[in-house]
Amino acid sequence: MTDTTFSAGKPGGKPALLDGAGFRAAVVGAFTKLSPRHAFRNPVMAVVWLGTLLTAALTLFGKAAPGQGAAITALLFVTVLFANFAEAVAEARGRGQAASLRRARKDLVARRVTTALNGAAATVVPATELRPDDLVVISAGEIIPADGEIVKGLATINESAVTGESAPVLREAGTDRSGVIGGTKVLSDEIIVRITAEPGHSFLDRMIALVEGANRQKTPNEIALGLLLVTMTLTFLIVVITLPAIAGFVGLNLNPLLLVALLVCLIPTTIGGLLPAIGIAGMNRALSANVLAKSGKAVEVPGDVDVLLLDKTGTITHGDRQATAFHPLAGVDLAQLREAALLASLADPTPEGKSIVALARSPGVALEEPADAHFVAFSAHTRMSGVDLPAQGQGGRVIRKGAMDAIVQHVAALGGLASPELTARVEQVARNGATPLVVADGRHLLGVIELSDVVKHGIKEKFAQLRVMGIKTVMITGDNPLTAAAIAAEAGVDDYIAEARPEDKLARIRQEQAGGRLVAMVGDGTNDAPALAQADVGLAMNSGTQAAKEAGNMVDLDSDPAKLLAVVEVGKQQLITRGALTTFSLANDVSKYFAILPAMFATLPSMAALNVMQLSSPGNAVLAALIFNAIIIPLLIPLALRGVRFRPSGATALLRRNVLIYGVGGVLLPFPAIKLIDMLLAGMFGP
C-alpha cells in the first residue's frame, strides 16, 4: 500500500514525513484544534492556550508594555500552534492511507447466491446490503465485496490494496488460509465466500478508523504519563500563583507577563505538545510494518513482553515441509510403502500431503483415487490422517499416516505391535532435524516418510537479540521430541513444546501469566483462537480464519508468522520514543529556569548567581527562553513520528543510553541555544 503521504508496503520501510497536500492539511488542522473542545483534551497545552489569552488581554487593556506583551503573546500562540501541528501531521499521514483504502471499496457490488452448489442463480446487489452468512460468488477479475471466508473453491488473490504487496496469494476453502478481505481482487478461478462482517464493521472500515485516529484509545503508559504531566502542571501553577505574595515580602512587584512566561517554561510543554502525536505515530508505525493493531494498547504491550510462543512451521522454519524419502521396514517392499502413503495422502490438502503424493508418483505410480473410499482428515487431536477402503476389491484396508505414538496406538488397538526397528528409524530421521511420519496398513506398520524443513536464515541471531532484551522464546510444534530438540538447538530457542495440541498452547500461556509474565503468540487457525485471546499479545494472520482474527488484538496483513519479532520491535520503539522525549522535555526545562528566574528577580543581588548564561537583558532572556520553548516542538516532530532508533539491549543499557543522550543532552542543549537566540535579539533590538 503506497501513498504520497504514507508508505506501508514493505516491513521496515520508512514513510515519507509529509507531502505538500499533507502539509497544508496539517496547517489547517493546527488552527482547527484551537477550539476549546479540542484544546482542553490536553491539560498542559490548555494552560499555555489560557496563558496566551491572558497575556493578550493584559496587552490590550494596557496592563503590560505593548511591545513585550505582543511578543510574549505571539510566542505563546505559536507554541500552541506547533503542538497542534505535531498532532495534525501525525493524523495527516494516516488520512492518505485512509483515502487509498476507501478507493479500494468504492461502488462495490456482489453476486449473492442462496447455496454453494455449482450453477446456483446469482442476484446482483450493492455490497452495502450484504450481511453475515450471506453467500457470494466471485470470479477472476472481480473485487471481493466484503470480508468473509471461502467455503468453496480456491483462487489467487491480489491483496495489494491492503498489504501493498503485488505478489498474488493463494486462498483455499477448508484450510487455515481461507480468509479474504473486501476490496481485494480475485485473479484466477472462482470462489464462493460466506460473508462474516456487518456493513461498516469490515476490515477496511476498521483500518480506516485506526489510521485516521478516530478509534485511538490512550494506552496505560500514556495515561500514566498524562497524569504525571497534569500533576506537574498543577504543582507549578500553584507555585507561580503564590510567587507574587512571596515577592511582596522582599518588596518586589512581579510582572504578570513574566509570571505567565515562567509558568510556560516550568510546565513540560515539549512532551505535552508531542504526546498525542507520539501515540498516533505508534499506530502508523505498526501499520507501516503491515500490522493492524486493534488499539493503541496493542502497539505498546509487545514492548513489555517477557515470553514469545512461536509455531515452528512457517515461523522458525520456512514452513513448506516436503516429503524427501520413504524408509520401509524390514520385510516391506518400497512399492508397498509408496502405495499406502499415496492412498493415505490423496485427500490431504496440506503442502506436506501434496508433496507425499508427488514423491510417491515420481517413479511412475499411476494410482488414482479409489471408488467409495472414505478419507479421514487430519486432526490435531488424533494427529493422523488416512483412508478407509471398502472390502470389494481392496480387502477392507484401513490405511493411516501420522505421528509415531498416534500410529502405534492405532495399530495396537487393531492387535498389532511396534518393532524396535521402527523406533530406531524414527529416531534416525528426527536426529537429522526432519519430521518422521509413520505409515500403517491395518495392524501392519510399513515404514516412515521423511519430511524435511529448513530453519530460516538469520533466525538464530534474532532469538539471540530477544534474549539480550530479556525475552524468552518457546517453540511449539507437533513434532516428536527428538525432531523438536534438533530444530530448537539449530534455531537457538530457549525452550520447546513437542507433540503440542491446541490445549497445550493455552496451558503454557496461563502458566507463564501465572508467573507474572506477559506472553505473545501467533496463530491463524480456529483452534488457535483460545490461545490468541488468552495471550497478552495475540498476532493473527490476515489469511487465517475469522475466529483467529477476532480473537487476536493484532492482525498481520502479510500473513508472515515471523512478523511477531517485528511486532516486539515496534512496541519497544514506541515505549523508547515516549520515554526518550519525556526525559528530554523534563531535562531541558531545568535549563530554561536559569533564563527566566534571573530575569524575574534581576533587582535582587542574591539572584545574580543564577544568571549563569549572562543574558543581555531580562526582557531578552524571557523572549529567548520562550522562542526556544516554541521551536523545539516542531524540531522534534520528525523524531516523534519516526521513532527513536531501536537497538536490542537490556533495560539497564536502554536506561543508561536514554539518560546520557536525552537527559544530559536535554540539560545542555538549551544553554547554547538560548544564549544564541539572546545574542540575535540583542543584535536586532538592543539589550
Q: Of the listed 134, 304, 311, 678, which one is catalytic?
A: 311
Express each pLDDT in 44-65 by its tens digit.
Answer: 999 999 999 999 999 988 887 8
317 vs 333, more confident: 333
Give the CA angle between residues 591, 595, 597 to the nearest 5°.
105
Which of 65-69, 92-96, 631-635 shows the lowest mean pLDDT across its residues? Answer: 92-96
In this predicted structure, the answer to whether residue 408 has a pLDDT above a threshold of 80 is yes
Q: What is d(CA 511, CA 249) in angstroms, rounded to the nearest whole number?
A: 64
Its pTM stands at 0.65
Residues 6 or more apart whose Cβ sits within 8 Å of residue 50 = none
pLDDT at 2 over 70: no
- For 490-513, how does the pLDDT look when each residue is reduced to its tens digit (9 = 90+)? 888 999 988 887 788 888 999 999
Q: Considering only CA atoms, which of 525, 535, 549 is closest in space to residue 206?
A: 549
The pLDDT of 105-112, averaged and rounded, is 75
pLDDT of residue 445: 93
pLDDT at position 603, please? 64
Largest separation between any pair of C-alpha atoms in the chain: 115
Q: Return the top range by mean pLDDT from 121-125, 158-162, 190-194, 321-325.
A: 190-194
Cell 518400497 belongs to residue: 334
How is residue 65 written as a grid cell? 508594555
CATH 3.40.50.1000, the chain: domain bounds: 294-316+456-557
Instruction: State yes or no: 381 annotated in a binding site.
Output: yes
Tell me where in the chain the CATH 3.40.1110.10 domain(s) lie: 320-454
Q: What cell was used for 680?
A: 540575535
Average pLDDT value for residue range 561-590 = 85
Q: Which residues are paired to 158 by β-bridges?
A: 185
Over residues 7-26, mean pLDDT: 56
Pairing between β-strand 307-311 and β-strand 472-476 as defined by DSSP bridges: parallel
By DSSP bridging, strand 472-476 and strand 495-497 are: parallel
Catalytic annotation present for 311: yes
The response to whether 384 counts as a known ligand-binding position is yes
Strand (E) or helix (H) holding 223: helix 220-249
Q: How far is CA 649 from CA 221, 415, 469, 569, 672, in A?
A: 21, 57, 5, 11, 32
Q: Is 127 annotated as a binding residue?
A: no
Instruction: Determine whether the annotation assigns residue 378 to a binding site.
Output: yes
The pLDDT tens digits for 439-491 are 999 889 999 999 887 787 788 888 888 888 888 999 888 777 888 888 888 88
Pure H helices in 160-217: 160-163, 203-211
Q: How far apart are the C-alpha atoms of 434 and 482, rounded to whole Å?
A: 9
Class level of CATH domain 294-316+456-557: alpha beta
Burial 567-587 (b: 16+ CB within 10 A, else e): bbbbbbbbbbbbbbbbbbbbb
Q: CA 516, CA 302: separation in Å to the nearest integer?
A: 15
Q: Is 485 annotated as a binding residue?
A: no
Residue 408 grid coordinates: 502405534
* Strand-strand pairing, 398-402 and 154-158: unpaired
* 132 within 8 A of 149, measured Cβ to Cβ: no
Amino acid 328: pLDDT: 93
Q: What is the pLDDT of residue 495?
A: 92
Rg (CA), the chain: 33
Q: What does the alpha-carbon distance between residue 413 and residue 407 come to, in Å, rounded to a whole number?
A: 10
At 56 the pLDDT is 93
- The pLDDT value recorded for residue 366 is 59
Distance CA 170, CA 123 (A): 26
Residue 100: pLDDT above 60? Answer: no
Query: Which pLDDT score, from 0 to 100, does residue 3 have?
Result: 34
pLDDT of the residue at 502:
74
pLDDT tens per residue, range 601-660: 766 666 666 777 787 887 888 888 899 999 999 999 888 888 888 777 777 787 888 888
> What value does the mean pLDDT of the chain take?
81
Cα 438 to chain centroid distance, Å, stands at 39
SS3 310: strand
Cα 685 to the center of its chain, rounded Å = 52
528 is in an annotated binding site: yes
Q: How far is residue 508 CA from its own chain's centroid?
A: 23
- Asked whether the beta carbons of 197 and 182 are under 8 A apart, the reply is yes
Determine the average pLDDT of the residues in 192-219. Answer: 69
How much is the average pLDDT of 517-542? Answer: 83
Residue with cell 488414482: 368
Assess whether pLDDT exceeds 80 at residue 213.
no
**457 annotated ligand binder:** no
Q: What is the pLDDT of residue 595?
A: 77
Contact, 137 vs 115, CB < 8 A?
no
The CA distance from 328 to 349, in Å, is: 24
Place of cell 502405495: 339
pLDDT attached to residue 503: 80
Determine whether the annotation assigns residue 379 to a binding site: yes
Superfamily of domain 320-454: Calcium-transporting ATPase, cytoplasmic domain N (3.40.1110.10)
Over residues 356-397, the pLDDT tens digits come to 888 888 666 556 667 778 888 877 677 788 988 876 555 578
Does the annotation flag 452 for ligand binding? no
Instruction: DSSP for 108-168, please give it.
Output: -EEEEES-SSTT---EEEEGGG--TT-EEEEETTPBP-S-EEEEE-EEEEE-HHHH---S-
Q: Determine whether 595 is exposed, middle or buried from the number of CB atoms within 10 Å of its CB (0-12, 13-18, 19+).
A: buried
